[in-house]
Amino acid sequence: MKDLNLLVSSPRKIRQSNEIAALQALHRARRLSRADLARVLNLNRSSSGHIIAELTAAGLVREVREERAARPNYSRAGRPGVMLELVPDAMFFLGIEIGVEHITATEIDLGASSIRTRTVAFDGPAHSVDDALRHAIALACSDIPPARMALCEGLGISIPAQLTLDGTVHFAPLLGWKDVNLTEIAERHLPRSVPVRVENDANAFAIGAAYNDTAIHSGVTLFVVMESGVGSGILVDGKLFRGGHGLAGEIGHLHVDGEPGKGRSLEQIVGLASILAEYRRVTGRAAATFEEFLSDVHDRAPQAVTIAEEWARTLAFALVQTCRIIDAGRIVLGGSVARLYPLVAARLSAHMLAAQSSSFPLPAIQLNAETNFGPAFGAACLMHQRYLSLESHRFLDDD
């Protein structure tokens, strides 16, 4: 039923979907000539020209006035093409992350570049849903003059919660929320009607970390976020895999040892809180920090190394289990705890190799170094992605 409607029908819709394809292509390649675009999209040069004309008139695309010396490379024979690029300021997208201790708001442009990010402390559990959203939206919109607000094409919200597919909070243990429709509430607090989407924080992080990395756009990638809690997001060809209820990737509660009934969860061993608790216990220093722990591991202090070894062993086990099910081609580790990874990368690999039957291909593991890419950025990217798809506001006038 739903596949069928996605198929394009009327002439006008052809142009719309081709325009979207052109925007996507320009986003990925940053710069293309009309002829380049025609090749990428398998279109005629003339059609490409018409599409560009329409997008230029709409203010989304412009010719880049290039310094003549700027391209000594690619000196093919023939008339050189005029390069085109997206107009970054044509619009912007907002992303906010409502965390347990803070709220972050970010703003990205049409090129998916971060314009600015702001974070404030916020005691999440102490506030109602309504208060939290009002604070967050105020933070995001505060410095934006009304005229500019008209260029906002979407607001993404990231929440540490289990969400159903329609943006309703199913259960948010960390915030104490339950069964609230965030989309509805957010729309009430917005100065202007804007598309809103809510997403789990791990999923949002995954989108953000992958969004400007063209290599990740194909295949299956697992993004693991390790803070106090542990979550993950699964990306298939650059698109989020949400599962039947939007809860896919909730690996924090995987059982990783002991009998099925008892045993501990991944989060209870790999999470920040557990590591710190254990490190403080063995060192006897109740105020020891994660930085000190990392430093100790680096210096090969036995007590810290033991903790790190169990961390690596447990994480390896969970990753192998997960890959048996989704067969990820790549794993990206993020969150503050991920800084432990470079210190024990070899151990992690060894444990994974041991747990894996030899014939099963091991995924590549990467560290997400960009601390800048948080859930807020990812939530904004989600709206950027939405704009560059058939759901886009601009193309839904009729129907």
CA max distance for the chain = 73
The secondary structure element, H or E, covering residue 174 is: none
Kindly tell me which residue out of 41, 90, 100, 149 binds a second copy, with binding defined by CB under 8 A.
41
Is 9 a residue that touches DNA (CB under 7 A)? yes
Residue with tokens 């033991």: 306
Q: Does residue 121 sit in helix, strand or coil?
A: strand
Which of DNA, a second copy, none is residue 51 near (CB under 5 to 8 Å by kind)?
A: DNA
Kindly tell me which residue out of 253, 281, 285, 300 binds a second copy, with binding defined by CB under 8 A.
253
Kindly tell me which residue out of 94, 110, 186, 254 binds a second copy, with binding defined by CB under 8 A.
254
> What ranges make up the beta strands (E) of 71-122?
84-86, 92-98, 102-109, 114-121
Task: Please give the distance of CA 9 from its chain centroid, rounded to a whole number.
Answer: 32
**Min CB(32)–DNA separation in Å:** 9
Q: What share of the chain is helix, strand, coil (3-state, %, to 5)?
A: 45, 20, 35
Indicate the pairing of strand 220-226 with strand 330-334.
Answer: parallel
Which of DNA, a second copy, none is residue 80 near (CB under 5 to 8 Å by kind)?
A: DNA
CA–CA–CA angle 193, 198, 202 (5° rounding): 150
The answer to whether the beta carbons of residues 136 and 98 sit under 8 Å apart is yes
**Min CB(375)–a second copy separation in Å:** 19
Is 73 a residue that touches DNA (CB under 7 A)? no
Which of DNA, a second copy, none is residue 253 near (CB under 5 to 8 Å by kind)?
A: a second copy
Q: What are phi and psi of 32, to 5 degrees?
A: -145, 150
Is 174 a residue that touches a second copy (CB under 8 A)? no
Kindly tell me which residue out of 29, 31, 49, 264 binds DNA, with binding defined by CB under 7 A.
49
The answer to whether the beta carbons of residues 158 and 98 sit under 8 Å apart is yes
# residues near a second copy by CB under 8 A: 75
Site for DNA in 13-42 (CB under 7 A): 14-15, 18, 33-36, 42
Gap between the Cα atoms of 41 and 44, Å rounded: 9
Is 397 a residue that touches a second copy (CB under 8 A)? no
Kindly tell me which residue out of 162, 168, 303, 336 binds a second copy, with binding defined by CB under 8 A.
162
Is 251 a residue that touches a second copy (CB under 8 A)? yes
Is 394 a residue that touches DNA (CB under 7 A)? no
Q: Minimal CA–CA distance to 85: which of 45, 56, 49, 109? A: 56
Site string for a second copy, 281-320 (x = CB under 8 A): --------------------------------xx-xx---
**Min CB(188)–a second copy separation in Å:** 26
**Min CB(111)–DNA separation in Å:** 20
Of 10 and 142, which has the nearer Cβ to DNA?
Answer: 10
Alpha helices in the chain (DSSP H): 2-6, 11-29, 34-41, 45-57, 129-141, 146-149, 182-189, 201-211, 267-270, 272-283, 290-298, 302-326, 345-355, 375-387
Is 5 a residue that touches DNA (CB under 7 A)? no
Of 306 and 372, which has the nearer Cβ to a second copy?
Answer: 306
The answer to whether the beta carbons of residues 178 and 169 sit under 8 Å apart is yes
Of 53 and 362, which has the nearer Cβ to DNA?
Answer: 53
Is 4 a residue that touches a second copy (CB under 8 A)? yes
Of 44 and 113, which has the nearer Cβ to DNA?
Answer: 44
Q: Which positions lie near DNA, rule CB under 7 A?
A: 9-12, 14-15, 18, 33-36, 42-47, 49-53, 75-82
